[in-house]
Structure 1
Amino acid sequence: MVTNIPNRIHIIGSVGSGKTTLARTLSAQYNIPYYELDNVVWERADSDDIRRSAADRDTLLLSIVNKKYWIIEGAHLNWVNPSFCRADLIVFLNPSYSTITYRIITRFIKQRLRLEQAHYTPTWDMFKKMFEWSAAFQREGKHQIQETLEDYPGKVVVVKDLKQLKQRLEQWMPSIEQQERTSD
């Protein structure tokens, strides 16, 4: 993989696309802290999570994006423009629908068996919602993300998995380094 990783990375995609796994992998590999947007929206509590107000959520997001190093991951789109603007790299994870379906099923099984931790209770209702969110992403969300990311040329890579991201980063980094040399 490349030796010069971007300082600020935003990862976006559907439920089950691999956002958290990719964020954790890059965080461990490059010692960059990662943040889940769900934890920006929700204040985690033992009894029950509490949704932050839009103002508190936005303030928390700004406190993260104003740091020098970060990886932010999540499916959220409408309120995360500060992250897109500050990101050095925006990764749109876009695996196949069958891959997403497989991941939703295996995640649910692992969570029900307590082999994988969740920020929510893995109920049958939540399982059903994940498929609904995934279907909505295929119908509308994917296109909304693509349209939004058109505003950030040169920052965006669209990949299906970590292997493809590594290949794209190897191609992407020399072009960024070349731009930096010519702008000096």
Structure 2
Amino acid sequence: MDDIFWDNQADEYGIKTPELERDDKLKKLVEQPSWVIEGVYFKWVKPSFKMAGKIFILNIPLSLQEERIWNRYAKRKIGEVTSVKKETLQSVRDLIEWNRRYNQEHIPNFIKDNEFKSKIIHLKIMKISSNT
């Protein structure tokens, strides 16, 4: 969903795709006979929740999420992983902070206050080995 939500052709990091273009791409995705979407876009993808058979929420330890964000950034910077993202050290710090709020506020609020409770399957993973 990041590749639809964010404009990867923009000259700087963090520029959103125009809303109409983004919404049209989402609509085409959910018109398929079967589909899986992932991401953190509760508000933007809400139309897809109506069509979804199940909504899975996967919570993994915040420390592991942050480790993976830093590792991804490092791999992109050294060229181990190619990416069109134009991240900066500050944008990664901002992402870490946003990710904390997302996990501590947005996910609990979404689970508590939405019309799709009967579709939600909440998976809480308490520990993942470092080999994962």
Report the TM-score when normalising by structure 1.
Answer: 0.58
1:129 and 1:75, CA in 2 relative to 1: closer, same or farther beyond 3 A? same
* Stretches of structure 2 lacking an aligned partner (at least 5 in a row): 126-132
1: CA distance between counterparts of 2:12 and 2:46? Answer: 28
| 2:26 matches 1:61 | yes
Q: Which amino acid aligns with 2:109?
A: Q
- The separation in 2 between residues aligned to 1:47 and 1:53, in whole angstroms, is 15
Go from structure 1 to structure 2 and tell me whether the alpha carbon gap of 1:42 and 1:102 turns closer, same or farther (over 3 Å shift): closer
Contact 2:2-2:39 within 8 A present in 1 as well: yes
**CA–CA distance in 2 between the matches of 1:96 and 1:51?**
28
The DSSP-based 3-state class of the residue aligned with 1:71 is coil
Structure whose residues are more often strand by fraction: 1
- Give the residue type in structure 2 aligned to 1:98: S
TM-score, with normalisation over the residues of structure 2?
Answer: 0.77
Secondary structure at the counterpart of residue 67 of structure 1: coil
CA contact (8 A) 2:8 2:85 kept: no
1:107 to 72, 91, 95: 72
Which residue does the alignment assign to 1:122? 87
Task: Map 1:22-171 onto structure 2 (within 5 A).
Answer: 37-45=1-9, 51-148=16-113, 150-160=114-124
Identity of aligned residues (%): 25
| Paired residue total | 124
Query: Which consecutive unaligned segments of at least 5 residues does structure 1 have?
Result: 1-36, 162-184
By how many angstroms is 1:152 displaced? Answer: 1.9
- What code does the residue aligned with 1:42 have? W
2: CA distance between counterparts of 1:139 and 1:159?
A: 15
Larger Rg: 1
Structure 1 residues 143, 59: closer, same or farther in 2, change over 3 A?
A: same
How far the C-alpha of 1:160 sits from its partner, in A, is 4.1
Cα deviation code 1:95-132 (max 9, x no counterpart): 11111122122222222222223341232112211211
Cα distance in 1 between the residues matched to 2:71 and 2:124: 18
Q: CA offset at residue 92 of structure 1? A: 0.8
SS in 1 for 2:36: strand
The structure in which a higher percent of residues are helix is 1
